[in-house]
Structure 1
Amino acid sequence: MNALNKTIRLFLDSIGRRDEYEFYLNKFQSDKAACFALLCPDLGSIEAGAEVLAFDLHFLLRLELVPAILLCGEKALEMKEALSSEPIFAFQPLEQGSVPLFIQQSRMAEKVPVLVGERHGLEESLLTLLPETATRVHFVRAAGGLKNPAGELLPYIYTHRKNAPEIEELEFDYPALGRKLLEQRPGVHLSVTSPINLLQEIFTVKGAGTLFRKGSELRHFVAMEGVERARLLVLLEASFRKNLSSTGFLENVSHAYIEKDYRGAVLLEEHPAGLYLSKFAVGREARGEGLALELWREVCENHGALFWRSNVANPFNSWYDKQADGYHTCGKWQIFWRGIPASSISDCIAYCCARDEDFQSTPPS
């Protein structure tokens, strides 16, 4: 990653955690697509936030990340007119000339390329441009991420899962488009956010919008039968960012839930009070995709009584607190339980406090 000056660093610090934005910045700068991302705004987001959008895009240019804006359909010219007041934008009709060349020329001129296709639909245009032009698409909507009828944000929509959540009435069918793109252009990143939350959506694991995903293939193993241990150990050490001091805990695993590509895993052990959640690991790149939530739901659907411990400094504890029936702090550990009988809670706490650590205290070099 190129050295960041103090002003840029301070601004990124205000958006999210340093390890997160450095991870994403390195990832984006190494991408081989013509541009870093395609932004597809609606008219409302431009009318309400053209200046905010221009500021954020200027910041991305300073990070050597060149996004392209895609304006399609009957309102394309109206959106172009609204953006024309900002000098950072360069415009080209979608059907005219080479898109990669236009993006390259815009990059050299320190401009944001805007592709205008008033005679083209959004679906048609994205299917043409992905993945050579970009592998990320951010739909920028004045109302921000998609919400349920109660107005609560839906962080993830799994386009290929049954029992889809209820969604607010939409001016455009984003879920249908997301499903089509994920089917025909697998591997692309699709999300919906607002102009004011664009950078937070881009540079943080939690994001600030709605992410479309097909849904992961999760595999359930009884004990460790069939588990590729070497791949699992790589995941655990990468996720916890520590070397394992021993692998003996694997012999006690009674249930393992593992994403098919070993990007996430939950390991459970038998205990008289229920199941002890020994390890909950998700690779860094998968953390912003909702894989942790998928794993958690799968485990909770199959097992009613769980308890686990987490370091008191773990920023994930606030999420654990929402999933648990209660917790107790014991030294460096915060101990959580869910579905555990009240008479067994003290035994679970004692077990967690006495259990040895499986990781070395220092991170790997």
Structure 2
Amino acid sequence: MKSKDILSRVFEITRDPRDGLLFLQEFQSLSPESFAILYADSETIFESSEALFSDLKLLYQLDLFPFVVLEEDSFQYLKVFFPLEQMGKDQGEEKTLGFSYEIIPREKPLLDTVKDSIQKKKIPILLWNDETEKLETVLERCRSLLHSAKIIYVSIDGPLKDPTSGKVKSIFQLENNFQLPTDISITESQKEFVELSEALLSKIEDPKFNIVLTSPFTLLTELFTVKGSGTLVKRKNKIRKFDSTDGVDMERLFRLIEESFGKKLKKEFFQTKFDVLFLEESYRACAWMQKTEYGYLLSKFAVNGVARGAGVGRDIWDQILEHCSPLFWRSKPDNTINKWYMSIAQGIEKDQHWYYYWLGVDKALIPGIVGLLQSQPEDFESKQEAKSSQ
């Protein structure tokens, strides 16, 4: 299957080609061994290994090699039900579960062995026995050595869900303990995931680290869409508030804005100043605010594409609401965030160029606010300007 056909298949499953490409580029920018650690419990392997391996095969065809952790009992099951693929007729025949793989010996250095396995185009598999080592210890040790920021827990029970609506509880941000709703009931594997999340996040300082619980039937949707398909647990995003450029890497900040909007900023914007800046500590999202006679103008609300599914934008928005009122802003008509803006704004006016929004504003100020927004310069280069500057 050609790479284009593989991508088409992935996006057919996820129904999200634009964000899918963004995530693919992000994954491919990582060192191959750092892509992700995937653990599937024994019940999942017994009941739905074919669904899981089908998605793993597509990842393999995209040159993405998750580090897979399986229980020894699960692997014994696979040897029975995949005998021709697994064992082969001779020692030299390729081992495959629909994709080539290699069992990682415990006695060998993990990082070098995994790198070697991936270089040979094989998905590395580590066999785990809970009698000799806790799952938490195995995953933390492997994560540390492989420098991975993502652990995927695959369970036939799927993600945590709201008991009333049945909707997936998509994000938990931990500061200390896992605060589950009192009326939620969870299975044994979900309970293990909750305990595992608490234990790992209490040790891991990396703000990008996350652990997600998903189903074997929705692995690709979890990986390649902003919305995801599972319950993602991470540290609470750290948002800093700045009143000056002191302590801000402005070059990195401008790069975040350009990457978020997919456009080049005009040279004039580099000379402008913010009155208030809300910035996520890893430069994954920001809000550039300017104080005016009418209140606060939200000049730029930028969220790194990969961070959109991690609640970073929402955390920054909460900071804006807490510190900056009255508030107003504008957005291009084709901006995909307009649907959300319309749901939270107090009011909106439109013309052929912009949508104008406000929140917490006295009605008497609206004409002045709209006039101010209309008078603001275009901060991004047009396609023609971008071409001529190259």
TM-score band w.r.t. shorter chain: 0.7 to 0.9
| Corresponding residue of 2:88 | none
Q: Which residue identity does 1:144 align to in structure 2?
A: G
Q: Structure 1 residues 169 and 79, CA, compared in 2 at 3 Å: closer, same or farther?
A: farther
Q: Which residue identity does 2:300 align to in structure 1?
A: K
| Corresponding residue of 2:168 | 153
Are 1:137 and 2:151 an aligned pair?
yes
Shift in Å at residue 112 of structure 1?
6.3
SS at match of 2:217: helix
Q: Structure 1 residues 293 and 59, CA, compared in 2 at 3 Å: closer, same or farther?
A: same
- Any stretches of 5+ residues in structure 1 without a counterpart? none
Aligned counterpart for 2:218 among listed residues 183, 194, 197: 197
Is the 1:42–1:141 contact (alpha carbons within 8 Å) kept by the matching residues of 2? yes
Is the 1:50–1:83 contact (alpha carbons within 8 Å) kept by the matching residues of 2? no
Shift in Å at residue 308 of structure 1?
1.3
Q: Show CA shifts across 1:250-280 (max 9, x none).
A: 33x3321112343321122224443221111
SS at match of 1:131: helix
Is the 1:34–1:132 contact (alpha carbons within 8 Å) kept by the matching residues of 2? no
Are 1:166 and 2:181 an aligned pair?
yes
For 2:44 and 2:18, locate their aligned partners in 1 and report how far apart those are by CA, in whole Å. 30
Residues 220-235 of structure 1 mapped to structure 2, 5 A cutoff:
220-222=241-243, 224=245, 227-235=248-256
Q: Structure 1 residues 9 and 231, CA, compared in 2 at 3 Å: closer, same or farther?
A: closer
For 2:351 and 2:364, locate their aligned partners in 1 and report how far apart those are by CA, in whole Å. 18
Shift in Å at residue 102 of structure 1?
7.2
- Any stretches of 5+ residues in structure 2 without a counterpart? 86-95
Is the 1:71–1:118 contact (alpha carbons within 8 Å) kept by the matching residues of 2? no
Structure 2 length-normalised TM: 0.78
| Corresponding residue of 1:53 | 52
For 1:4 and 1:54, locate their aligned partners in 2 and report how far apart those are by CA, in whole Å. 19
For 1:319 and 1:41, locate their aligned partners in 2 and report how far apart those are by CA, in whole Å. 35
Is the 2:170–2:230 contact (alpha carbons within 8 Å) kept by the matching residues of 1? yes
For 1:345 and 1:130, locate their aligned partners in 2 and report how far apart those are by CA, in whole Å. 52
| Corresponding residue of 1:178 | 197
Is the 2:345–2:357 contact (alpha carbons within 8 Å) kept by the matching residues of 1? yes
Aligned counterpart for 2:360 among listed residues 339, 347, 355: 339
Structure 1 length-normalised TM: 0.82
Aligned counterpart for 2:127 among listed residues 79, 98, 115: 115
Q: Structure 1 residues 306 and 80, CA, compared in 2 at 3 Å: closer, same or farther?
A: farther
For 2:354 and 2:80, locate their aligned partners in 1 and report how far apart those are by CA, in whole Å. 55
| Corresponding residue of 1:263 | 284
Q: Which residue identity does 1:57 align to in structure 2?
A: L
Is the 2:102–2:123 contact (alpha carbons within 8 Å) kept by the matching residues of 1? no
SS at match of 1:130: helix
SS at match of 2:145: coil
For 1:19 and 1:36, locate their aligned partners in 2 and report how far apart those are by CA, in whole Å. 20
Shift in Å at residue 325 of structure 1?
3.2
Query: How many matched pairs?
Result: 359
| Corresponding residue of 2:10 | 12
Is the 2:46–2:74 contact (alpha carbons within 8 Å) kept by the matching residues of 1? no
SS at match of 1:50: helix
Identity of aligned residues (%): 26
Query: Greater CA deviation, 174-183 or 84-93?
Result: 84-93
Is the 2:102–2:117 contact (alpha carbons within 8 Å) kept by the matching residues of 1? no
Shift in Å at residue 22 of structure 1?
3.3
Q: Structure 1 residues 101 and 227, CA, compared in 2 at 3 Å: closer, same or farther?
A: closer
